[in-house]
């Protein structure tokens, strides 16, 4: 019995080496195939999850400018009714402080000032912005019957005049005579200006230099109205080309510097709404 068993096991055919090689390759193929199948499933899952992300759209944002890790504050010094004989003196002062301003010029002032061509050219070359204050500043014509149409017609005329004098400066910003408040400026004006492609700025701070001839009073007015808007990051300040303005201007500039404001002229590419209607159409 023992010899039979021994002979049985000793005479049983053993697998050849080739068998083990083939068997191993089959096992490897099964494992690799499983891995690829799992990876394919994961890729399908990832692709599905990523598709909504690829379809997202983002609003265009403007980076907040910062200075010493604080949000920057900007002030826009604006001057109405020029160009007058004080325009060059105002620009001299602005140059001393390396400040750029915005000048809302009048068509009649351009026509009546023999030096208007030189003044407007200097405004352009110095980096100031030349805005429009209409041709006539005539209340009845601009705010009476057919006021909106008359308003736009005057702006187009003044725009062409400025462009001709300066050799290509095309103004897009106006300031309405007497401002857009008080009931004179109407929604029809906004519609007409918007359709013509014009923007319109009022002001945050009124220096009242049109009322007061004392430079100290002009400066105190600026201080007073600025303090009422102490949290504002953009301030538009209204001046006229008056002697009192010329005298108060150094103190005004140094005052805003002490508050951390930077000075800018109007920039059409960075327009922001500043009208008493709070209309973003102009």
Number of CB atoms found within 10 A of residue 149's CB = 12
Say what the pLDDT of residue 28 is: 53
Say what the pLDDT of residue 182 is: 86
Residue 250 CB burial class (10 angstroms; 0-12, 13-18, ≥19): middle
String of DSSP letters for 182-195: TTSS-HHHHHHHHH
Residue 249: which residues within 8 A CB-CB, separation 6 or more? 90, 93, 94, 239
Rounded CA separation 66/73 (Å): 9
148-162 tens-digit pLDDT: 999 999 999 999 999
Q: How confident is the model at residue 71 (pLDDT cuts 50, 70, 90)?
A: confident
Rounded CA separation 275/6 (Å): 111
Mean pLDDT, range 99-113, rounded to an integer = 98
Say what the pLDDT of residue 72 is: 87
User: Of the candidates 191, 239, 247, 181, which has an alpha carbon nearest to the alpha carbon of residue 215?
Assistant: 247
Rounded CA separation 22/26 (Å): 6
Length of the chain: 282
Say what the pLDDT of residue 33 is: 54
Q: Which two tokens stand for residue 102?
A: 């915005």
């Amino acid at each position: 019995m023992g010899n039979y068993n021994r002979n049985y096991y000793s005479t049983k055919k053993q697998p050849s080496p080739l068998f083990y090689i083939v068997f191993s390759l089959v096992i490897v193929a099964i494992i690799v195939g499983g891995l690829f199948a799992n990876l394919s499933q994961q890729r399908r899952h990832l692709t599905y999850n990523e598709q909504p992300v690829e379809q997202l759209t983002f609003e265009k944002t403007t980076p907040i400018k910062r200075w010493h890790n604080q949000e920057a504050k900007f002030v826009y010094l604006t001057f109405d009714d020029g160009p007058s004989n004080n325009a060059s003196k105002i620009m001299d002062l602005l140059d001393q402080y390396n400040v750029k301003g915005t000048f809302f010029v009048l068509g009649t002032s351009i026509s009546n000032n023999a030096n208007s061509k030189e003044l407007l050219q200097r405004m352009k070359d110095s980096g100031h912005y030349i805005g429009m204050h209409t041709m006539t500043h005539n209340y009845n014509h601009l705010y009476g019957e057919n006021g909106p149409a008359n308003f736009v017609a005057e702006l187009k005329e003044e725009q062409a005049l400025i462009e001709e004098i300066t050799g290509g400066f095309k103004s897009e910003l106006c300031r309405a005579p007497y401002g857009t408040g008080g009931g004179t400026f109407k929604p029809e004006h906004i519609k007409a200006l918007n359709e013509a492609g014009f923007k319109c700025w009022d002001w945050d701070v009124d220096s009242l230099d049109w009322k007061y001839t004392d430079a100290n009073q002009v400066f105190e007015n600026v201080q007073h109205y600025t303090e009422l808007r102490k949290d504002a990051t953009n301030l538009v300040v209204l001046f006229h080309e008056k002697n009192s303005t010329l005298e108060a201007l150094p103190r005004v500039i140094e005052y805003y510097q002490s508050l951390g404001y930077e000075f800018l002229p109007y920039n059409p590419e960075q327009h922001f709404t500043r009208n008493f209607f709070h209309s973003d159409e102009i």
